[in-house]
Structure 1
């Protein structure tokens, strides 16, 4: 089995999909490992560390059976791979039609990490969650850096400075990590999620749960969309907390769907001058009406940031976590004879194998590409 670790070309992508530790495991399995020169340098893993574990350093992926990617593959990159190659990484498989069509044309098998089921069995392979943990941590540090206020309460000879008020909207993995990080920095934290069962998690971290309309979750564990009446009541309930906040982190998003709107421009206008918002959902439409992907917007004397790849700002640990996710995926796919099987694993890897040998396999990907409904698999 030949595996290729690609160097990400995007300037903003500093992660790598394998580390010297996971490369060592692949070599122990008897696999031939090729690492593109410079693949890990921005994450703190120079080429010699990979070579020391038995990897060959080369940019030639032409004979690779499996390619591991840390960043979002582009259509042009997909068409450079040889037909029959399996590519594992992030693909936006329910939204990015151009990329999915490119993968079909190239005859690839695509294992999309976004499509790993949210089950106990798949937790160690859940790259969305591992990278969201990094993102939630980084979002609080980013907001703190932009804020003109201290986060903790300080009692000094010059007087007492009250703690910053931080509001976290969306209490998934990223939100929980944001709460924990803001609390460690000494802030007074409030948090809200439409799923009522998150109250206990919020309070266990020392934050206060915001009373606002809630809803049920779908089969995948994500919150269901709310109607206009519930959204209006949601805005009304959140408005006073938004007004009082010094820092806001929004994290609410669902793979393959537009992010829910949680903060309107009118709500932003009520905030204190110098307040900061980090919208982690900016790439999928945003939780904050004025936010824009990868831009800093200043409106109503409030700074709104829309970062789309916070995990890359903590590249070393984000790469370590992602590499372990990748390793676990391949451990599950690997057979005793050294071959791999993805689509055949109906519990975990099958649902994530969105394209098989150039043909869309996941129902949502097939719908995206216009396949007739009766042909869905």
Structure 2
């Protein structure tokens, strides 16, 4: 069993899909590991570190590979040296890269999309969305604090008192929860909202104030796998009214809402931004998927009505070392959980295998892409 680790080629992608730690573990399972030169450079992992862990660092690392590990799905043409039937294990953006997925099928590869990992207890350690979103929520607050021209915590000094910043987190998934915790640690007064009523207790447990629509009953907002669903027009109107009144008082707004397979929902309008104080900051974590905030642009600082609107197209890549370490463990936890000693390779079960498998036998087979 030959496992190859690719050097990422996507612009701004600083992560890598294996660490020296996971290389050692794969080798302990009986696999051979090859790494393309420079694969870990941007994540502060030298080729020598991979070699010391037992990997072979070579330009033709993909030659004869049975499994190819990557952070973002490579073009099918870049995989021609891998064995036919090889597994491509990565974040494959299945809904956004349908042509690439079709090319994997045509080339005879078995593409396994880590984003499609089911949100079940035994798969938590394999979930790249959770591990990367956790870091994204942290980074969003740090960047917002950096762009904000004032201090976050309340400070009582001989010259007078500095008021604490007010931070509002919109969307309380993994990223939102980490954003709440980080903003609280920095000393801000934090409030948060979500369409899922079950998150109210989570917000309170982190010491933040929940901001929820109470006038529209019977809307839970909970979709399959714990993801948020789209709300009714009645709920959206009530939420917009509530948020508009609240957002005008905030110094920092972090938006984190995403719905898998769809454009990011619009949470903050230009009119709402206009009510914020000059010098306030909005960080749009969903900017790469169309944005939660009107006027946000990936990797640019947009100033509207005196408010800075920022967001990265790839937030985890700005914390490449830690993001790579967690991503690498996700991939190892996935493959090792199904490792068959007799076969000398992983053998997937139906529940997880059918969830993540996009292509097999020359065809696209995942029901979420066929529906």
TM-score by length of 2: 0.94
Give how far 1:91 is off.
1.1
**What is the SS of the residue equivalent to 1:244?**
coil
1:229 to 2:234 alignment: yes
- Pick closer, same or farther for the CA change 1:221–1:79 going to 2, 3 Å: farther
Q: CA RMSD in A?
A: 1.6
| Worse overlay, 176-185 or 88-97 | 88-97
Shift of 1:81: 5.0
Matches within 5 A, 1:1-377: 1-60=1-60, 61-74=62-75, 77=78, 81-212=82-213, 214-341=219-346, 344-367=348-371
Paired with 1:218 and 1:329, the residues of 2 have a C-alpha distance of 24
* Structure 1: 5+ residue stretches without partners: 368-377
Q: CA deviation at 1:10?
A: 2.7
Quick one: distance in 2 between partners of 1:244 and 1:74?
A: 46
Deviation at residue 246 of structure 1 after TM alignment: 0.7
Q: Which runs of 5+ in 2 are unaligned?
A: none
Work out the CA distance in 2 between the residues paired with 1:72 and 1:144: 33
TM superposition shift of 1:125: 0.4
* Deviation (angstroms), 1:32: 0.9
- Between 1:112-121 and 1:309-318, the stretch displaced more is 309-318
More displaced stretch, 211-220 vs 12-21 = 211-220
What are the superposed Cα offsets for residues 65-103 of structure 1, whole Å, 9 maximum, x if unpaired?
101002343465466755322110111112322221222
Tell whether the 8 Å contact from 2:65 to 2:81 is kept in structure 1 after alignment.
no
Which whole-Å CA distance do the structure 2 matches of 1:201 and 1:237 have between them? 20
User: Residue 108 of structure 2 contacts residue 361 of structure 2 at CA under 8 Å; is this kept in 1?
Assistant: yes
**CA pair 74-263 structure 1, distance change in 2 beyond 3 A:** farther
Displacement after TM superposition at 1:338 (Å): 4.0
Q: Is the 1:114–1:127 Cα contact (8 Å) retained in structure 2?
A: yes
Q: TM-score, normalised by structure 1?
A: 0.93
How far did residue 221 of structure 1 move? 1.5
1:143 deviates by 0.6
CA separation of 1:79 and 1:250: change in aligned 2, threshold 3 A: farther
Structure 1, residues 271-313: CA drift from partner, whole Å, max 9, x if none? 1111111111112221112112333221111111121211111
